[in-house]
Amino acid sequence: MIDPTAIIEKGAQLGEGVRIGPYAYIGKDVVLGDRCEVMSHAVIEGRTTIGEGCRIFHHAVVGSIPQDLKYRGEEVELIIGKNNIIREFTLINPGTAGGGGKTVIGNGNLLMGYVHVAHDCKIGNGCILANAATLAGHVELGDFVVIGGMTPIHQFVRVGEYAMIAGASALSQDIPPYCLAEGNRARLRGLNLTGLRRRLGGKVIDELKRAYRQLFLSGRPLRESAAELADSPNEYVRKMARFVLETKRGIPLPRTME
């Protein structure tokens, strides 16, 4: 299952059923889980651990040193969970000492072609990053986030679970859970109703609609509205409100006039 032209350095740990394509490179500190597939010309290097069932497509580069001028060769890590799909020419960097030393990606994510995940990013489970989405350093994505193609995300931005960022946007502030954002610079446009309907019931969505109106459309001070909802009996409303209270980069509120 390993092509004779592939280069696998001594020390690399390969699980059962791993497939390595022509001219792929696997570094000495790499750990590949069971049933992973690394396709032709892909590069996996550094202290990179990849869970079972992942597929790394042609010419992807996974685990190369951070694109950070402060990096001085310290030992850092990239940890990728199970059943992820990493498509062609995607670049994923490990962490830096200043960011905790780890880039971490969860399970079941799809990273399409030419995606960049920079140093110290944290990505949850079930996320989709469309072609040429680019995450700067220290970006955090919750579970089931969708990032449209050609969308850059500024360093230290957080995107809450089930949120969606439309394609060709430019995101520089935090997006609360369950919300939809679009534009350059991206602003809130409402709830990600399509994503929510796939996973949550109608009653939950109705309560999120009321919370969204109170938080972002009432004209009241944002933190005041969030504080009122932070102890809501609805766990989804609580998450949205507490995300707002914890934001460091601010929330891009909807424009009242376009």
pLDDT at 89: 98
Handedness of CA 106, 76, 63, 31 (dihedral sign): negative
Q: Check if 119 is active-site.
A: yes
Q: Would you say residue 239 lies in a domain?
A: yes
Residue 226 buriedness (CB in 10 A; 0-12 / 13-18 / 19+): buried
Q: Would you say residue 187 lies in a domain?
A: no
Expressed in angstroms, the distance from the first to the final Cα of the chain is: 57
Q: Would you say residue 1 lies in a domain?
A: no
Q: Is the pLDDT of residue 258 over 50?
A: no
Q: Would you say residue 230 lies in a domain?
A: yes
CATH of the domain at 37: 2.160.10.10
Residues 242 and 128 in one domain: no
Q: Would you say residue 205 lies in a domain?
A: yes
Q: Which of 137, 142, 148, 160 is catalytic?
A: 137
Q: How confident is the model at residue 254 (pLDDT cuts 50, 70, 90)?
A: confident
* CA separation, residue 111 to residues 45, 114, 202 (Å): 18, 8, 30
Q: Is the pLDDT of residue 9 over 90?
A: yes
pLDDT at 256: 55
Which ranges in the chain belong to alpha helices (H)? Answer: 193-199, 202-212, 222-229, 235-246
For residue 153, the surrounding DSSP H or E stretch is strand 152-153
Q: Which of 41, 59, 119, 138 is catalytic?
A: 119
Q: Is the pLDDT of residue 257 over 70?
A: no
Q: Which of 46, 59, 95, 120 is catalytic?
A: 120
Residues 150 and 201 in one domain: no
Q: How many domains does the chain have?
A: 2
Query: How confident is the model over 43-70, as a mean pLDDT?
Result: 98
With tokens 């796939």, the residue in question is 198
| Cβ atoms within 10 Å, residue 217 | 14
Domain that holds residue 24: 7-156
Q: Check if 137 is active-site.
A: yes
Tell me the per-residue pLDDT of 183-192, one tens digit each, with 9 for 90 and over: 999 999 999 9
* CA separation, residue 243 to residues 6, 142, 160, 239 (Å): 46, 11, 8, 6
Q: Would you say residue 180 lies in a domain?
A: no
* CA separation, residue 12 to residues 27, 47, 127, 128 (Å): 6, 10, 28, 29
Query: How confident is the model over 191-215, as a mean pLDDT?
Result: 95
pLDDT at 201: 84
Residues 20 and 131 in one domain: yes
Contact 39, 58 (CB under 8 A): yes
Tell me the per-residue pLDDT of 79-129, one tens digit each, with 9 for 90 and over: 999 999 999 999 999 999 999 999 999 999 999 999 999 999 999 999 999
Residues 22 and 146 in one domain: yes
Q: Would you say residue 176 lies in a domain?
A: no
Tell me the per-residue pLDDT of 210-224, one tens digit each, with 9 for 90 and over: 999 999 999 999 999
Query: What CA–CA distance (Å, rounded) separates 132 from 167?
Result: 10
